[in-house]
Structure 1
């Protein structure tokens, strides 16, 4: 049984060449991209093709005939592009599987040859069900083989097991990206300059010294029909309206022709006012992919995502037409984001659902349904409960694609938004909460009151009462015992007021010793009863500090919101006049405006 989960398996016998990290990295990339059960590299041997390395799981031995390799070798020797041979039961017979009741086998193979020609081996994709490759995947597999051929040549040229001369694994990814036509750019927004890598310039047919750095020239190269869209997306990202910049558009080459490119970037530096200073990104030539298949967006995103430094989970999520849900690919970031492993979600997404906070689970499922139904991007912020990390915030983004059988495939990423949400909550609290009493501050109280007033005007016949409250003799209390005790008196009164109020009432500190309450749905009589209950509660609950007992009383002015009022300020003014009357008539009273 050939089996691997993370590291890859070298299966050559003693004395034969050993697959190095580069070959294993290639197989991981191929298996993750195509969603295969296994990916193998086989090399010719005296007894027939022999497996050199495997990523995935497959029973041994693998009975592969030699004819396809002879065919592939002929293509390689001729100098043509690597042959990609669709098998699917036509070239090779079905292979045995772990479950003997199923039929399966090789569904694609790609010949690997060296820099000077000559067949070296073959890359195989195996699955437990018949599979086919569209034109876009066919092209991508051939591209991987082009990068892998020289790597295999180095392995075969080295003594068995010594790994000499093999580059580190990430070199393979660099080769693949270079072969796909990707260039890097760095924009200095303040100077109005943009600097391009040599690969970026070569993509448009320029030599390194033939392209200037002026941003005006960069805008001019964009196709006239795409220019407004590109500039709008760029402005939106500069202003913080998008997490990253991503566009697909046409661009003029040196010879006057146009290419399709996918350009992604992100502002990496802002000034203290939040203005963008520097932006970096990568551009990929997608002309051939657009011509090969209009549905090649999945492959484009996968390749370009390899250049993104995403601190989180990169994933492919699939929902079949009959409702099955699973992650066809999950990066190692799933351990940080969900405290799970890729195998936990490879056949079912239930383990992820179990991690989502019950308060957000319905919204999570609804957002995916809407994204699938309308093929609109999926974006959501939601909470998760994790065994080790506890309650955390997650931010997910993905793009959907309809599959031929009617299912939907998303590709995207999920990041940790906990720290950002914490900062947002602190800023919201600073902007809305009175730090001494922990009631709504004046600004937030007025905002909530205006919202209630707008609701009253919409319904037409609603009611709401408003109370202004002021602690009696508060200045004398401060003068006698000091501001520290005065602050404790304010906190004590705020606690009593909060206990008397309903959860739907709007309660705030307006300033100093003055408070206000809006009672939605209650008229004048109910407001008077509320005020009298509060006075009794305050009288029965003096402030106690050590051996000191300080009696408190409160004066209250009342009126009701009227839909004819221009705004909340008018009813607060009337309540304030009623409060003044309560003070003038002896304090510790409830007075109604106009009486």
Structure 2
């Protein structure tokens, strides 16, 4: 048994903004048809449907909500033939094959009625608690679209009203006015009308046949039909938006408005006057609004990344009630896999990030604040890549929390951030920390010294001896080689907890963590020894390099890291003054 079907839409063109959600609801609940109506509490009108619903039967469907449904309520009728309230309802009369009906009210943010979302079937059936909750959630999505649609409609009406006032304001000045003789076919245009399209006063004829040649071919039948409807008295006024060809061959969107002001004794139109306004900008805005509405549908079905609906029960159990097809790119899974087992993500998220990921969801559920988290995932054959999750939580009546959100791939952004971090903290010539970053590391080391009485740290300043002579004799390119050669030797002596940086020119600094001055002396001697045993090779020659070193401890009483750096710099100056290639302690 089937409900009768028809290809004719009950209210003209299909409302594609709702089609995606309506079709999804039909698949989700496995019913024969889904119906959306909108309107106030007393009268509803058909908006959209999915399934074999008779468009002709619903052409004039204006009916009250079924008896028994209240605000924010869900009405379930397992068998309509046994419900006395529905026997005479306009919906069951229009669809005599109907046996099962579920209706969920759609409410505005202020509680006002927006419409109803129906599930219809030709066999009796029931909805369990989970399906009922799912229907309510679909109703919330549809209600949000209706609210957005109403806001768009009101904004567009305001724009249209503004345009009407402007047209009336310019009518008295003779701008954009036309006057048509319906009997003779003559039509006269004001100079402002001609200027609107870029014509001069003598470039536009006065025959209606010529005027139709300027109308875009795709709009001509519509324009002529609208004029004829007004001539026949079926409309109070003539008003259409269409395209007109300008003098340069381009087309403008215009709004033409007019009215028959004179008829003969038989009621036939004699004279019609009106105005034409440029609505190109308003048309572009209208198209943008339509694109925004279409984007809302795409966000549900086709947005890059993964759109999801995630639910966490009071006992901690969680599940995905909806996952978009983007999960294939985000997690390498199918939607079915993730819906079936939400815990499979625990095997995909990087082990080092899993605790933070779970903790962020826990905090979002506890505080009911938006969830935002960046984390790594491990996909087969792809290594570690970065993901960003964003969602808003909503508490449910049973104490569980429901999130709606999306996951995006931010791997490229993270790589750029890492590159920028290296650029901001690294000396490009030696690949050591630059002065700014080294001072930050030194400040951190001083903080450790100040926190613990047993913790010590030492700073060493290095200066390549006779570096100016190298530049003067061999050139700056060889000087750069010498700096890189020394920094490479310096790095071989560092522990993982130590830090080194280029302070400028031929000066370098090292901070040894948890070390004494004696240990710093040994470190400096090793660097001097390695440098002496490994001269810089340049062509057939080997350039001997030497370095002077100044050593100072970081003191808990230091106001800043600059104090320790200044002491080591003073020790370095003593080493240079005493003959170079020396080590001095402050």
Instruction: Provide the TM-score with structure 2 as the length reference.
Output: 0.58
Structure 1 partner of 2:351: 358
How much is the aligned-residue C-alpha RMSD, in angstroms? 4.9
Structure 2 partner of 1:87: 76
C-alpha distance in 2, partners of 1:438/1:31?
58
On the 8 A contact 1:198/1:207 being kept in 2, the answer is: no
Whether 2:102 is the aligned partner of 1:108: answer yes
C-alpha distance in 1, partners of 2:532/2:126?
79
Q: How does 1:496-511 map to 2 (within 5 A)?
A: 496-511=489-504
C-alpha distance in 1, partners of 2:367/2:557?
44
Which of 314, 322, 332 is residue 329 of structure 1 equivalent to? 322
C-alpha distance in 1, partners of 2:524/2:540?
29
Which of 120, 125, 135 is residue 123 of structure 1 equivalent to? 120
1:427 Cα deviation after fit? 2.2
C-alpha distance in 1, partners of 2:126/2:332?
28
On the 8 A contact 2:554/2:564 being kept in 1, the answer is: yes
C-alpha distance in 1, partners of 2:347/2:577?
62
Structure 1 partner of 2:372: 379
CA pair 138-523 structure 1, distance change in 2 beyond 3 A: closer
CA pair 124-406 structure 1, distance change in 2 beyond 3 A: farther
Which shows bigger deviation, 353-362 or 500-509? 353-362
Q: Deviation per CA, 1:228-261: give whole Å up to 9, x if none.
A: xxxxxxxxxxxxxxxxxxxxxxxxxxxxxxxxxx
Structure 1 partner of 2:216: none
Q: How does 1:115-194 map to 2 (within 5 A)?
A: 123=120, 129-131=128-130, 133=132, 137=136, 140=139, 177=145, 179-182=146-149
Gaps of 5+ in 1: 1-10, 44-51, 56-68, 94-104, 112-120, 145-175, 185-196, 213-281, 284-301
1:490 Cα deviation after fit? 1.4
C-alpha distance in 1, partners of 2:358/2:135?
31
Structure 2 partner of 1:41: 33
On the 8 A contact 1:437/1:491 being kept in 2, the answer is: yes
1:489 Cα deviation after fit? 1.9
CA pair 490-17 structure 1, distance change in 2 beyond 3 A: same
1:123 Cα deviation after fit? 3.5
Structure 1 partner of 2:444: 451
Q: How does 1:319-468 map to 2 (within 5 A)?
A: 319-387=312-380, 390-459=383-452, 462-468=455-461
CA pair 142-363 structure 1, distance change in 2 beyond 3 A: closer
C-alpha distance in 1, partners of 2:81/2:320?
29
Gaps of 5+ in 2: 36-48, 83-98, 106-117, 167-287, 290-294
Structure 2 partner of 1:199: 154
**SS of residue paired to 1:87:** strand
1:29 Cα deviation after fit? 1.8
On the 8 A contact 2:25/2:138 being kept in 1, the answer is: no
C-alpha distance in 2, partners of 1:474/1:487?
10
On the 8 A contact 2:21/2:142 being kept in 1, the answer is: no
1:443 Cα deviation after fit? 0.8
Instruction: Provide the TM-score with structure 1 as the length reference.
Output: 0.57
